[in-house]
Amino acid sequence: MKTKEKIVEQYWKAFDEYNFDLAGTFMDTNAKVIWPNTQEIFKGRDNFILTQKNYPETWKIILEKLISINEIVISVVKVTSVENLQSFYATSFFEFKRNYIIKITEYWGKISEPPEWRINGGWSDRY
């Protein structure tokens, strides 16, 4: 496994174990995290890690895919709330400088049932 992929793998493992300080060690102090879905940008590792430490729910994170394209590592994780069993997928694009994460752009989508009209219309199936 490539070094940057290993960093992302360890980053997600630290998040799954609620070891946010460890996750922060993989990030540059000036790292930016962008969440386009909610139009937020976290400027600096410490702001992002503090946000995670204060998040009001408990989550289970499963790394499903990890792909490297040039200097970018893309991950897909399934995130499930322990309290209310909501689930999401997050697709994250990690950018690096000297083996430290300098930018993460994450797209979040809630896992939900498909609309009945697509199922009843025969255009899609559940998996």
- Alpha carbons within 13 A on the beta-carbon side of 20: 13
Q: What pLDDT does residue 1 have?
A: 57
Q: What are phi and psi of 31, to 5 degrees?
A: -60, 150
Name beta bridge partners: 30.
none
pLDDT of 14 > 80? The answer is yes
Range of weakest confidence among 17-26, 46-55, 113-122 = 113-122
pLDDT of 123 > 80? The answer is no
**From edge to edge, which strands make up the β-sheet containing 40-43?**
40-43, 27-35, 100-110, 87-97, 72-81, 59-69
126 in a structural domain: no
Name beta bridge partners: 66.
75
Report the distance separating Cα 57 and Cα 124, nearest Å.
33
Name beta bridge partners: 89.
78, 109
125 in a structural domain: no
106 in a structural domain: yes
* Domain region containing 90: 3-120
CATH number of the domain to which 51 belongs: 3.10.450.50
* pTM across the whole model: 0.90
Q: What pLDDT does residue 124 have?
A: 79
54 in a structural domain: yes
pLDDT of 82 > 90? The answer is no
127 in a structural domain: no
pLDDT of 85 > 60? The answer is yes
Average pLDDT over residues 92-107: 97
Structurally, the chain folds into a number of domains equal to 1
**Among candidate residues 30, 64, 59, 61, the one with its CA nearest the CA of residue 45:** 30
